[in-house]
Structure formats: C-alpha cells, structure tokens
C-alpha cells in the first residue's frame, strides 16, 4: 500500500496548475492598478512640498531681514540659488537657499511684492505639483495661490 502511494507521488509532476498561475497574475494586476496611481500622486505631493519649503524659507528669511534692517531688499533667483540683496549701494547679496527642482520665484503680481516690514508677499510656482503656486506673506503666512494686492495692504 505504501509502496503504491510512494510510486504515485514520484510519477506526479510537482508544478502549478494553469488556474493557480492565472489567479496569481490577476491578484498582481489588481495590486498594480491600485499602487501606480497612488505612487504618481505621491510624486506630485512631493513637488508641492518642495514649493512650500522654498517659499517658507524665503518668507522667513525676509521676515528675519526686516528684524535687523529697515530698507526694502530685492529678491532674486539665479544660478540655482535664492538671493536677498539689501537696498544699500554696493551691498553684497545674501544667499538664502538652494532652488528646488521645478520651482520658480514669481515677480510682483497685481501690486503685491515687498513694500515694507509689515507689507510684503512672495510666491513661487512648481508646475509639476498639484497646487502649482504657493505664497508667503507678512499678513497671512503660508497659503495657496499667487500674491495679490490684498496680501500687502
């Protein structure tokens, strides 16, 4: 009896059936269909975080500048760095950080910009993110959207 069972097991192939393989392929397909869109949205969120970090750094550096100085500085983005230049003739530009990938500093829009220590707004745009434009102002801090005249009044 045992010899017959042993012989039957030796003759039998030990592979997977076609049905088992198809079930595994379907499960992998379902998991991939769920995971890929989630992964792509995480990349866009990371781009938004880069823009928020950049504009927050610029805004906080600008606020810090106004603690010690009274003149209105100029902000610029060049050679992959953000710079803050005091209004004093011949003053050296202060490096305030590296520009994140896909992030650009916006110019003054609709009368917004830097007026004085209590009335300023800066914004950056990241075209690869879901939000696009972020602003940081003396009046409202970090927020979505571009600077408008109401941010500096």
3-state secondary structure 44-74: HHHHHHHHHHHHHHHHHHHHHHHHHCCCCCE
Q: How many CB atoms lie within 10 A of CB 25?
A: 10
- Kindly state whether residue 63 falls inside one of the protein's structural domains: yes
- Kindly state whether residue 99 falls inside one of the protein's structural domains: yes
- Kindly state whether residue 5 falls inside one of the protein's structural domains: no
Task: Examine the pLDDT at 4 and tell me if it is beyond 60.
Answer: yes
Q: How many CB atoms lie within 10 A of CB 65?
A: 19
- Kindly state whether residue 108 falls inside one of the protein's structural domains: yes
User: Residue 140: which domain range?
Assistant: 16-151
- Kindly state whether residue 4 falls inside one of the protein's structural domains: no
For strands 119-126 and 103-105, give the pairing.
antiparallel
Within the chain, residue ranges assigned H as helices are 2-11, 18-68
Mean pLDDT score, 14-36: 91
Q: How far is residue 55's CA from residue 106's CA, in Å, rounded to a whole number?
A: 10
Mean pLDDT score, 17-40: 92
- Kindly state whether residue 87 falls inside one of the protein's structural domains: yes
Place of tokens 């992964």: 39
Model confidence over 89-126: pLDDT tens digits? 888 889 999 999 999 998 644 445 777 888 889 999 99
| Mean pLDDT computed over every residue of the chain | 85
Q: Can you give the pTM of this predicted structure?
A: 0.72
- Kindly state whether residue 8 falls inside one of the protein's structural domains: no
The CATH number covering residue 112 comes to 3.55.40
Domain total for the chain? 1
Mean pLDDT score, 29-42: 90
């Amino acid at each position: 009896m045992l010899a017959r069972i042993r012989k039957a097991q030796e003759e039998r192939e030990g592979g997977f059936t076609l049905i088992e393989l198809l079930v595994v392929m379907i499960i992998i397909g379902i998991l991939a269909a769920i995971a890929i869109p989630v992964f792509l949205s995480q990349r866009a969120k990371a781009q938004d975080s880069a823009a928020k970090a950049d504009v927050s750094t610029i805004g906080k550096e600008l606020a810090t500048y106004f603690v010690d100085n009274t003149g209105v500085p100029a902000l610029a983005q060049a050679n992959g760095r953000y710079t803050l230049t005091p209004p004093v003739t011949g003053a050296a530009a202060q490096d305030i950080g590296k520009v994140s990938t896909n992030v650009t500093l916006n110019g003054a829009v609709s009368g917004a910009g830097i007026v004085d220590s209590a009335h300023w707004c800066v914004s950056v745009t990241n075209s690869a993110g879901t939000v696009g434009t972020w602003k940081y102002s003396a009046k409202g801090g970090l927020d979505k959207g571009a600077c408008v005249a109401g941010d500096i009044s």
